[in-house]
Amino acid sequence: MSTKKDTEATPLTEEQLSQKEAELNEREDQLNAREEGLNQKETDLAELENSLLNAETETEEGSEIVPGEEFKIGKDKYKFKDSAPRTLNLGGSKLSQEEIVKDKDLLQKIVKTSHIEKIK
C-alpha cells in the first residue's frame, strides 16, 4: 500500500530567513541592473531608428542617388547597388567603392554580398 508523505512545511529559522532575504535582494538588484541595460538599449535603438529615418528623409528630399561603381570579374559584369554605401568597412578598414573595384581579390570575396548586383 502507499504511504502518506509528509506534507507539512518546516518553518525556517531566523538565520535562514535572513539568508533567503539577502539572496532575493541580490537577485532583485541583478534584475534591476539588467532592466536598466535593456532600457538603455531600447533608448539607443529608438535614437538610431530616428537618425535612420531622418537620413532617409534627407536622401529623398535633397540628394541624388549616386550610381554604384561597375566592375568585371572574368566575363561577368557587376556593379554596386545604387543603395549601397559609398564606403564599406571591410576587415577593419573603410574603403570606398572605387578602392574596392581596384582590388580584384577583395572583389572575389564580396561579389556575393547584398551590396553587389550582376549586370546583364
- Residues 80-108: tens digit of each pLDDT: 998 888 888 877 788 889 998 998 888 88
pLDDT for 2: 55
How many CB atoms within 10 Å of residue 87? 14
Domain-located, residue 32: yes
Residue found by looking up cell 538610431 in the block: 48
The DSSP bridge partners found for residue 94 are: 89
**Residue 1 belongs to some domain of the structure:** no
Regarding whether 30 and 54 lie in a shared domain, the answer is: yes
Does 84 fall in a domain? yes
For residue 32, give its domain range: 13-63
- pLDDT lower than 50: segments of the chain: none
Find the Cα–Cα–Cα–Cα dihedral 12, 13, 14, 17, rounded to 10°.
-30
Q: Is the pTM of this model over 0.95?
A: no
In a shared domain, residues 58 and 82: no
